[in-house]
Amino acid sequence: MEQIRYSVAACQTDLPNPTERRAMRANTDRMLSMIDSAVGGSAPFLPVRLVVLPEFAHAAPVFPTVAELREKLAVQIPNEHTERLIQKRASMTSTSRVGRCWKLILNGRAWSSTRPV
């Protein structure tokens, strides 16, 4: 029986925390670049089948209240960032996955959630 071998890329970020929604785009750009680097860098050794990005890669909750987070950073899911990650996933091999944790605000409360794309 042939052994199936693959790798997982757990990417860590040190990105600036945006204080407005439109500034999250630069963080998405960097995450997409990190996915390319992780998959390409591993290619000579093992194929990457899962890429994991940190929960606060787009934006950490830098405001002290949920009201401010809603006003300045909260985004609906799906959004332009999830769509770009889905497009990246589609361009990868058919068995690759990209996993992300998302910050949600639901009924006035902040939640974190994992959402594979």
Find out whether 65 and 30 touch, Cβ atoms under 8 Å: no
- The pTM assigned to this predicted structure is 0.77
Secondary structure of residue 110 in the 3-state scheme: strand
Domains recognised in the chain with CATH numbers: 7-116 (3.60.110.10)
CA neighbor of 116 nearest in space, from 92, 89, 84, 93 = 89
pLDDT, tens digit, 9 for 90 and up, residues 50-106: 888 887 888 888 999 989 988 998 888 888 988 898 888 888 764 555 555 444 444
Tokens of 77: 């899911």
